[in-house]
Structure 1
Amino acid sequence: MAELQRRTLLRGTVAASGALIGGPFLGFVNRASAAAPTEHTPQLGPIADLRDGKVRLWLPDGFKYRSFHDTEFAVTLDDGTALPGRHDGMGAFRGRNGTIRLVRNHEVNNPGPAFGDAGAAYDPMAQGGTTTVEVTKYGEVVSGYTSCNGTMMNCSGGRMPWGSWITCEETVNGPDVGPDFTGTPNLPLTQRHGFIFEVPVRGQSDREPITAAGRFSHESVAFDPWSGYLYLTEDNFGWPSGFYRYKPRKHPMKTGKLGNRGRLQMLKVRGRPNLNLAAAQPRRASYRVEWVDIDDPAPSFPYTPGQTAPTTNDTALTHVARQGWAQGAAYFSRLEGSAYDDGIVYFTATQGGGPAETSLGPIADGYGNGSGQIWAYDTRASVLRLAYESPGPDVLDFPDNVTTSPRGTLVVCEDNVNNNYLRGLTRRGRLFDIALNRLTSSTGADRSNDEFAGSTFSPDGHTLFVNIQASRGMTFAIWGPWHRIGV
């Protein structure tokens, strides 16, 4: 408890005195229909899970939750699928009779038999994908099934306004690429990976990769309905990461899907080639940007079946980015979650904000020496602004997935090795706690370091759904007086 009080005090002090807040969030200040949230800092305490009475989360007073699809125990979906773990990015959509449909990623790496129907899989020897589950607003499961399989490391993605989820592969594995960071050979794989896939809210994905949107270490996407651009983040752990946009030839709001013919581009700061935005930024940092074309977005590399490919994983990981760097594209640190709100794309840089790296990579502990940044890109003005930069791990430690609440607060998932929180960041720049992981296994082992991921609100704003991203994954439904804590 002493540590929690110390962290709360530090956050309140720094947010008020100079955590590099760039002023009120653009796009968050004109919500006429939203009641102004209160500004007190909620205190967290142990709350019992309505599933079984066990304490798994600490929450503010007045909040409740239920966990479901806990893969510490065997879970079988309605289609007979054994539910995989590694629950990650997730989107919430309206279901039937007041229910919510959740399309949920499973970030499973390494070659192996696909879950679900292997005959429908993109690659029958890839273990990632998505499941779709229908639940009540209180986290009671109605049904569930496999909606995309045979993909790899489905990390985050994005909710599309025409009624789809875009799932992202955070890898470039394939039979044409050498082993990745795990050292596991890619020989069993039958397809190239490193793409994004569209998953409809109802039914199955066609498992067709959108190759024109690039083959790189995808993390998340956010769609701007005004321009028709899809904005994409890259989490290239040991190298600088890029911020991209993809414009399909036809506007998805008219066609009802994301086409596979279009142009991929990478962000460059105007007049400042290869600017290192992973380094600590000046207060109220703001940059005018332009975009450079990526001419070879979906490379294939030479290989002989049954033999280890000569192209290394590092070479494949940076193939797309190097095309942008050669034209002056900016360097970021590990871009992860993103969310669109009223003309602004917010995205996190997990290890941004510290001293500048002296090497381009690869860097063993990840590119970037800070505790995290949150950026805001104005899609109409073509201006990038720093919304928040953490002054240290006691305040905000490695921000990852992010979503927006109906009242205009960013909900940020932490991914660190010591007390993972869900944080709220208001449009006035106030950072506060929403939830604290206090998981233990069925044998009593401490799981408080398991990361939060996939935060998403139900369409009516009643329930926040969020995952635990671990081999023993689970999903939480959390509800309570959101207005009282400023969410």
Structure 2
Amino acid sequence: MAVARRSVLRGAAVGAAGVGFTTVGAVPSLAESTPGPERAPYPVHKPFPPLMDDPKGLLALPPGFKYTVVTRAGETKLATGQPTPGAHDGTAVFGTGRNNYLLIQNHEIGSNNALGVPQIEGTVYDTGVGSAGGCTVISVDRDGTNLGEWVGISGTLTNCAGGPTPWGTWLTCEETENKANGTTRLKDHGYVFEVWGDGETAHPVPLKALGRYAHEALAVDKDRRHVYLSEDASGPNGLFYRWTAPAGYKLGPSSWQDLADAGFGTLEAMAILGDDGKPIPDVAYLTSAQLLRPFRVAWVPVPDRDAVTVSCRKQFTDGQVTRGKKFEGVFGTDAGVYVVNSYAEAGTADLSADAIPHDGMVWFYNYQANTIQLVTYFPSNTAADKGPEAKYDDYNFDGPDNVTVTPWGSLILAEDGNASSHVLSSTPGGPTYAIARNMLNDSEFTGPAFSADGKVLFVNMQTPGITFAITGPWQTYLG
């Protein structure tokens, strides 16, 4: 989410299914296809009441809900005395066992910045980038009160989203392909890094096995043998990837050492197969007419995952893989993984004449069946393109970005669209409701993360950089 859709549109206005495939040709016939999964017992969504404006002008919420400001860029302070960095993005929340929570939070900053993540000894990957991207760690109580904040990793660039690990760490993703230039970048960038929250452990080591590209988010599967990763890129559009561990290997707390090897395990790109067994070129060829229909998936090896000379997504022809505009949020469950596409617009080089513009897609990949289903679809909607003047429109949604799953199985989506910016509650295959609206500006929301006990939803307003803890009767509507 390095460039928000609203920024792109505004600028334009001013300016005028089997595992183990090695080749795409080795796809099963329809008779050999894996049966689609049964429709999951998705939770019934109780409608949220209309949002109430905030007299402080920050966050509109439903009646009965309230927020606490946890951090604010430039105002709250790190333990080392520097101000909280800006550009809050992907975030994970962990329980500490003392009725408190620990947040690990990305800062999507691409160059040396006054509100960048300060380089703290032992946490630095690339000294050349100065105070740029990275992660902070925030200790909070059950009411959202800030108990302290410190640096988890520094010297990285454009830390967008990522994903929590089953062993309690955070995998942060660089959304860039910038290589070393000898001055402002002494090392290559575009990697995943593991971040610890204890304030003592830091291994700022790139996990090269997971590839070098414009990473967005990821999820580790329940068996700890796969990692699913999204790519937010265009020219051509990005891909959805799967990393697979070597036979007999399971990911764990010391795996960062093995993942530092670019040849460890295998990295593959997704191909969604049509009824003819051929890859569908782009997810935008599919619409709400295919809602909940399972499609078989093939996984195609990435020839050079470190992208020494050619970007990973450019190593494939259009007939080999399935591309997508802005592969964004990723979140894993025991059964599979959700992945979001923010939008696709007509009249762009990345969308063929046969594809269908849309304002957002959410997919669910089923681990066991090796199929993928479209579970939420926002059709292209001019009402959602009215711009920031439509600040009280709580019914037309566009540009879903980050995603998380609530303790009750429904979805929380953060909007990065063109009109009002919302946090959304969505039932796969069902309705979507606004549960928060940005009243301060038209910045996107980022990093929604529910505490495991279901008491607190943490979410960020990327600009000016605010973390909120939202509490209220969540179970009444989501349980």
Q: TM-score under structure 2 normalisation?
A: 0.80
**Cα offsets for 1:1-22 (capped at 9, x unmatched):** xxxxxxxxxxxxxxxxxxxxxx
* 8 Å Cα contact 1:266-1:329 kept in structure 2: yes
- Indicate whether 1:195 and 2:191 are aligned: yes
Equivalent pairs counted in the alignment come to 413
One-letter amino acid of the counterpart of residue 187, structure 2: Q
Q: 2:63 maps to what in 1?
A: 61
Which residue of the other structure, out of 132, 139, 142, is the alignment partner of 2:144? Answer: 139
Give the Cα–Cα distance (whole angstroms) in 1 for the partners of residues 422 and 121 of structure 2.
Answer: 37
Deviation at 1:429, TM superposition (A): 1.0
Change in 2 beyond 3 A, CA 1:433/1:251:
farther
**Cα offsets for 1:184-209 (capped at 9, x unmatched):** xx842101000000112323330000
- Indicate whether 1:464 and 2:465 are aligned: no
One-letter amino acid of the counterpart of residue 294, structure 1: V
Q: 1:424 maps to what in 2?
A: 425
Spell out the pairing of 1:9-24 with structure 2 (5 A cutoff): none
Change in 2 beyond 3 A, CA 1:420/1:233:
same
Unaligned ranges ≥5, structure 2: 1-36, 385-394
Q: 2:100 maps to what in 1?
A: 99
Q: 2:409 maps to what in 1?
A: 408
Deviation at 1:436, TM superposition (A): 0.7
Q: 2:53 maps to what in 1?
A: 46
Task: Look up the SS of the partner of 2:219 in the other structure.
Answer: strand
Give the Cα–Cα distance (whole angstroms) in 1 for the partners of residues 40 and 471 of structure 2.
Answer: 22
* 8 Å Cα contact 2:235-2:349 kept in structure 1: no
Give the Cα–Cα distance (whole angstroms) in 2 for the partners of residues 168 and 429 of structure 1.
Answer: 30
Q: 1:325 maps to what in 2?
A: 317
- Indicate whether 1:346 and 2:347 are aligned: no
Q: 1:290 maps to what in 2?
A: 298
Deviation at 1:283, TM superposition (A): 2.7
- Indicate whether 1:223 and 2:231 are aligned: no
**Cα offsets for 1:267-307 (capped at 9, x unmatched):** 01232235221234233343101101112101335xxxxxx
- Indicate whether 1:451 and 2:444 are aligned: yes
Give the Cα–Cα distance (whole angstroms) in 1 for the partners of residues 226 and 64 of structure 2.
Answer: 40
Task: Look up the SS of the partner of 2:376 in the other structure.
Answer: strand
* 8 Å Cα contact 2:70-2:466 kept in structure 1: yes
Give the Cα–Cα distance (whole angstroms) in 1 for the partners of residues 316 and 99 of structure 2.
Answer: 46
* 8 Å Cα contact 1:266-1:324 kept in structure 2: no
Give the Cα–Cα distance (whole angstroms) in 2 for the partners of residues 27 and 61 of structure 1.
Answer: 33
* 8 Å Cα contact 2:216-2:231 kept in structure 1: yes
- Indicate whether 1:149 and 2:154 are aligned: yes
Q: 2:24 maps to what in 1?
A: none
Q: 2:126 maps to what in 1?
A: 123
Task: Look up the SS of the partner of 1:69 in the other structure.
Answer: strand
* 8 Å Cα contact 1:114-1:124 kept in structure 2: no
Q: 2:265 maps to what in 1?
A: 262
Change in 2 beyond 3 A, CA 1:326/1:351:
closer
Q: 2:472 maps to what in 1?
A: 480
- Indicate whether 1:232 and 2:229 are aligned: yes
Task: Look up the SS of the partner of 2:170 in the other structure.
Answer: strand
One-letter amino acid of the counterpart of residue 432, structure 2: L
Deviation at 1:26, TM superposition (A): 7.1
Farther off after superposition, 367-376 or 162-171 = 367-376
One-letter amino acid of the counterpart of residue 462, structure 2: Q
Farther off after superposition, 38-47 or 214-223 = 38-47
Q: 2:85 maps to what in 1?
A: 84
Deviation at 1:358, TM superposition (A): 6.9
RMSD between aligned alpha carbons?
A: 2.7
Give the Cα–Cα distance (whole angstroms) in 2 for the partners of residues 300 and 368 of structure 1.
Answer: 34
Deviation at 1:238, TM superposition (A): 4.4
Q: TM-score under structure 1 normalisation?
A: 0.79
Unaligned ranges ≥5, structure 1: 1-24, 31-35, 49-53, 177-185, 302-315, 440-446
Farther off after superposition, 263-272 or 141-150 = 263-272
Give the Cα–Cα distance (whole angstroms) in 1 for the partners of residues 255 and 356 of structure 2.
Answer: 36
